[in-house]
Amino acid sequence: MQIHRAHKIELIVNDSQELYLKKAVGCARFAFNWALNEWIEEYEAYKKDPTQPKPNQYSIRRKLNAIKREQFPWMMEVTKCAVQMAIIQLGQAFANFWKNPEHFKYPKFKKKYVSDSFTISNDHFEVKGSRIRIPKLGWVRMREPLRFKEAKLLWATVSRRGKRWYVSL
């Protein structure tokens, strides 16, 4: 039996690090909202013509990857995980909704400053002592070291509450 535990730690960021984190959060929110819009459009097309493919997170990720360099070059300034994990989380939200609509709600568009966060998968970050290495940003100080020394880290979610930044491992 696996036990999942999380440790939420405040980050100590300077001005340039905070700017990067704001950009990453913005890219994740934009990717989620863009993917949700695409999902809705593709599903409407599928309802009208069942020969069309049903939308899924893989096809939407491929579509965004094909156009982001030309249409959204600012996405390249932050880690690809911020964008990729936002679409994966949208896919999981739809899977949960279709499986149990009484318990889970239909995914909604994200708003700025409301639960701002982005997620990094386990092979893209590193924790050493009281620091975490975030892709394309570098090492960021944490308020305290990680409590679980021998745990396997699955992902890191960086979030903002007010003017403070946190990482949940």
In tens digits, the chain (169 residues) has pLDDT values of: 666 778 899 999 999 999 999 999 999 999 999 999 999 999 999 989 988 888 999 999 999 999 999 999 999 999 999 999 999 999 999 999 989 988 999 999 999 988 899 999 888 899 998 999 999 999 999 999 988 777 788 889 999 999 999 999 8
Which of helix, strand or coil describes residue 151? coil
The alpha carbon torsion through 50, 51, 56, 61 (nearest 10 deg) reads -140
Exposed / middle / buried, residue 134 (Cβ in 10 Å: 0-12, 13-18, 19+): buried
The burial class, CB within 10 Å (0-12 / 13-18 / 19+), for 166 is middle
Do 57 and 93 meet the contact criterion of CB atoms below 8 Å apart? no
Q: Which SS3 state, helix, strand or coil, does residue 62 take?
A: helix
